Structure 1
């Protein structure tokens, strides 16, 4: 059915937010190359809040999320992100209903 989460990050300042984006982009390279169970992994900017980033992540299932968390590129991201952040908040999601693209998680 899928396993998702939303993470809201607040960077210490705008320069840190840009450095955070670079760190996330490096992790994304590994995610694209090595994580077939990661269906969606997107870093969003928030209009009029230059220090805020919101990640939306969707995994095939909980096992895919656990595999994602164990990857070296993700471990690096998790270890380094704190230097750029004032705070972050994670919200885990259970799917109720929705539209998914063909070939992704079963609806």
Structure 2
């Protein structure tokens, strides 16, 4: 992801599309995407840590995640851009995604 502009890429959870990348942060320790969910989550944006990205297809302009739509929806609420610089908020988002099940082969 570092050095790549992913703005506008479609973001896919394991069970469907969640939205498009609105912006990204490549700062070490705070790397994430802000994804505009459109009408899926009532016009809200969600913050996605890069650690849950499982693939980037630059030709298809698509990013795949290792989580479901419901897991993204249940993540700590993203309200304002200032949260993208708040270590406490970023820590809570990171902790949430780290706790998700890793094995999806059942």
What TM-score does the superposition give when structure 1 sets the normalisation length?
0.30
Structure (1 or 2) with the greater strand fraction: 1
Please say which structure displays the higher CA radius of gyration: 1
* Structure number with higher relative contact order (C-alpha < 8 Å, ≥ 6 residues apart): 1
Q: Name the structure with the higher helix share.
A: 1
The normalised TM-score by structure 2 is: 0.30
